[in-house]
Amino acid sequence: MASTSILRTVARGPSTAFFRAYRPVAPSRAGLVVPALIAGSSLNFSTTVARRSDPHAEETFEEFTARYEKEFEGVQDVFELQRNLNNAFAYDLVPSPSVIIAALKAARRVNDYPTAVRIFEGIKAKVENKGQYQQYLDELKPLREELGVLLKEDLYPEQAK
């Protein structure tokens, strides 16, 4: 019995007492002016920033490096650090050692050891071969020793096989 009453309610559709009836409003001359006024006013709630530069301009590697070094120098918490790392590694390039140095120092500043270890995992995933990864390790070895950052291979030698 209860299932048939539910079926009847669904089949009937919405009650007209609950919902307001749709009444089309005839367009007026004043109605044509209002959207134009609203479009240029502060009532436009867009969250995107209008870019005045060429949308197809590509950033050079040097500009990329300078931008991310500056980003990592301003990191104040773990969320910012990880967000910047995700953004830096999302590009189709391997960040320069100076960007990695800035990221490692930022990880030390916010006291996030696991992220420091993950930075090297990200480098290992981004490089084309083991030789390039070894070059990064050789260049960053003094800083790794200074900060006490071990590699995943050192922490879990049985998984390095």
Question: Which pLDDT tens digit goes with each residue over 61-108?
Answer: 899 999 999 999 999 999 999 999 999 999 888 999 999 999 999 999
Task: Over range 116-124, report the average pLDDT.
Answer: 95
95 falls within a domain:
yes
Amino acid at the residue 102: A
> How much is the pLDDT for 85?
94
CATH of the domain at 118: 1.25.40.40
User: Can you give the pTM of this predicted structure?
Assistant: 0.64
Is 33 contained in some domain?
A: no
Whether residue 114 is contained in a domain is answered as yes
Full domain range(s) for residue 128: 61-159
- Does any domain span residue 110? yes
Query: How many domains, in total, are found in the chain?
Result: 1
149 in a domain, yes or no? Answer: yes
User: Percentage of the chain surpassing pLDDT 90?
Assistant: 55
- Does pLDDT of 46 surpass 50? no
Measured between alpha carbons, how far is 98 from 104 in angstroms, rounded to an integer? 10
